[in-house]
Amino acid sequence: MPIRSKTFCESYHEDIKLLNTIWSKCWMGVFILVLLTLPYTTDTYIVYLVNLSCIAVVAAIGLNILTGFTGQISLSHAAFLAIGAYTAALLSNHLEMPFWIILPAAGLVSAATGMLVGIPCLRLKGLYLAMATMSFGVMVEYVLITWKDLTGGERGLYMSEVNLFGHLLDTDESVYYFLICLSALMIIIAKNIIRTRVGRAFIALRDRDIAAEVIGVNLTGYKVMAFSLSSFYAGVAGGMYAYVMGHIHPEHFTLLASVEYMAMIIIGGLGSILGSILGAVFIVVVPEFIKLFAQALEAAIPFMQGRYDEEWNIAVFGLLIMLFLIFEPGGLNAIWQRIKSGFKNWPFTY
């Protein structure tokens, strides 16, 4: 039997399989096992961080579908999260709907808004689109602050706990399993969208929109679809965010938050689902390391005593965006692929 040095695909179907080697299946199994046993092996804080990461992953995938795959710059992702979060809070507080209706509803309301924003934005691209979406974000923020009767203004809204068919998920550990399943589901959906016709249309649209139109890709339809898909993801993430945080207010959904989501997909890797996951986890975890670093610094230099605040995180995000764009435009995903192929081809360089 000849020894194969690499994975060969003999059909297109084989090529686009999600897990195409026995090894990737094994690793995935190990990864899932680690995730499932995590609450028993670590403390609550880590579980809480994973919860936040799961929400960020869903949001980042949404943004990556729009910006990374379809090439439409959006600086209003946080606004769509806000719409999802406020929809969830309002439905739960006023109409007392069950959780399994609220979460999809949050996604759908956000998707409908995304479509409404997407349609007028069809004519815009590049810089102009960035500006238009940014101004949409500012307007949403304004509405959240001023429409006090509905949104509670600066005080925000409180949120009940997740009630899944009578099971109250009131601890971080119990929400954890739900969030893992939810984000896994969202990841699989996104993966499947991207590897089929719709995904290819998105990518064609990003690379050369006019050429894509000439060969028969319906620009209008796919652009609107990308907008509504992306905001559906954002809406679901926003709804879960409201449940996990227990309290939402306009401060969570500013332009800065949108930039943070942008940072996730740039650092993770544009146009890559794995990249969105890596980037989202990275952005959630990095502040913890900054905190540790700042504590070490405070212990070492008396001058730095008590100087650490949120501002440091933001500065680091800004710096990271710049460094990644200059030195590693492919993001963490590119680094990961390099490591992987390094191992695969060892001891050869390629």
Partner 1 sequence: MYLLQLLVSGLAVGSLYALIAMGFVLIYKGTGVINFAQGEAIMFAAFVAYYLVTRFGVPFWIAVPLTLVTSALLGMVTERLVIRPMLGEPVFSVVMITIGLSIFLRSMAGIIFGHHNYIFPDPFPTEPLHLGGIVLSHNHLWSMIISFTLMLVFFLFFKFARLGLGMRATANDQDTATLMGVNIKKVYALTWGISFVVAGLAGVGLANVMVLNVGLAFVAISAFPAVILGGLESIRGAIIGGLVIGILENLAGGYLDQIVGGGIKDVTPFAVLFLVLMIRPYGLFGTKEVERV
Whichever of 124 and 274 has its CB closer to partner 1, that residue is 124
Whichever of 161 and 328 has its CB closer to partner 1, that residue is 328
Sole binder of partner 1 in the list 16, 49, 108, 314 (CB under 8 A): 314
Contact flag: residue 256 with partner 1 (CB under 8 A): yes
The Cα–Cα gap between 219 and 70 comes to 11
Contact flag: residue 319 with partner 1 (CB under 8 A): yes
Contact flag: residue 135 with partner 1 (CB under 8 A): yes
Task: Sketch the per residue contact string, 218 through 247, with partner 1: x for CB under 8 A, - otherwise.
Answer: ------------------------------
Token couple for 33: 């096992």
Identify residue 130 by its one-letter amino acid code: A
Whichever of 71 and 239 has its CB closer to partner 1, that residue is 71
Contact flag: residue 19 with partner 1 (CB under 8 A): no
Residue 180 Cα distances to 39, 127, 175, 314, angstroms? 12, 36, 9, 27
Contact flag: residue 202 with partner 1 (CB under 8 A): no
Whichever of 29 and 318 has its CB closer to partner 1, that residue is 318
Task: Sketch the per residue contact string, 257 through 286, with partner 1: x for CB under 8 A, - otherwise.
Answer: --x--xx--x--------------------
Contact flag: residue 214 with partner 1 (CB under 8 A): yes
Tell me how far, at minimum, the Cβ of 323 lies from partner 1, in Å.
9
Whichever of 71 and 107 has its CB closer to partner 1, that residue is 71
Contact flag: residue 150 with partner 1 (CB under 8 A): no
Sole binder of partner 1 in the list 108, 145, 189, 290 (CB under 8 A): 145
Task: Sketch the per residue contact string, 320 through 349, with partner 1: x for CB under 8 A, - otherwise.
Answer: xxx--xx--x--------------------
Q: Per CB under 8 A, which of residues 114..133 are in contact with partner 1?
A: 120-121, 123-124, 126-128, 130-132
Sole binder of partner 1 in the list 155, 167, 247, 307 (CB under 8 A): 307
273 contacts: CB under 8 Å, gap ≥ 6: 61, 64, 187, 190, 191, 194
The Cα–Cα gap between 252 and 78 comes to 8
The site for partner 1, by CB under 8 A, has a size of 46
Sole binder of partner 1 in the list 52, 57, 63, 73 (CB under 8 A): 73
Q: Pick the piece of the chain touching partner 1 (CB under 8 A) from 107-115, 287-295, 306-314, 335-343.
A: 306-314
Sole binder of partner 1 in the list 210, 306, 348, 350 (CB under 8 A): 210
The number of angstroms, rounded, from the C-alpha of 245 to the middle of its chain's C-alpha atoms is 17
Tell me how far, at minimum, the Cβ of 326 lies from partner 1, in Å.
5
User: What SS3 string covers the chain?
Assistant: CCCCCCCCCCCHHHHCCCCCCHHHHHHHHHHHHHHHHHHHHCCHHHHHHHHHHHHHHHHHHHHHHHHHHCCCCCCCHHHHHHHHHHHHHHHHHHHCCCHHHHHHHHHHHHHHHHHHHHCHHHHCCHHHHHHHHHHHHHHHHHHHHHCHHHHCHHHCEECCCEEECCEEECCHHHHHHHHHHHHHHHHHHHHHHHCCHHHHHHHHHHHCHHHHHHCCCCHHHHHHHHHHHHHHHHHHHHHHHHHHHCEECHHHHCHHHHHHHHHHHHHHCCCCHHHHHHHHHHHHHHHHHHHHHHHHHHHHCHHHCCCCCHHHHHHHHHHHHHHHHHHCCCHHHHHHHHHHHHHHHCCCCC
Tell me how far, at minimum, the Cβ of 120 lies from partner 1, in Å.
5
Specify whether the CB–CB gap between 236 and 63 falls below 8 A.
no
- Contacts to partner 1 by CB under 8 A: 67, 71, 73, 75, 120-121, 123-124, 126-128, 130-132, 134-136, 138-139, 142, 145-146, 208, 210-211, 214, 255-256, 259, 262-263, 266, 307, 311-312, 314-315, 317-322, 325-326, 329
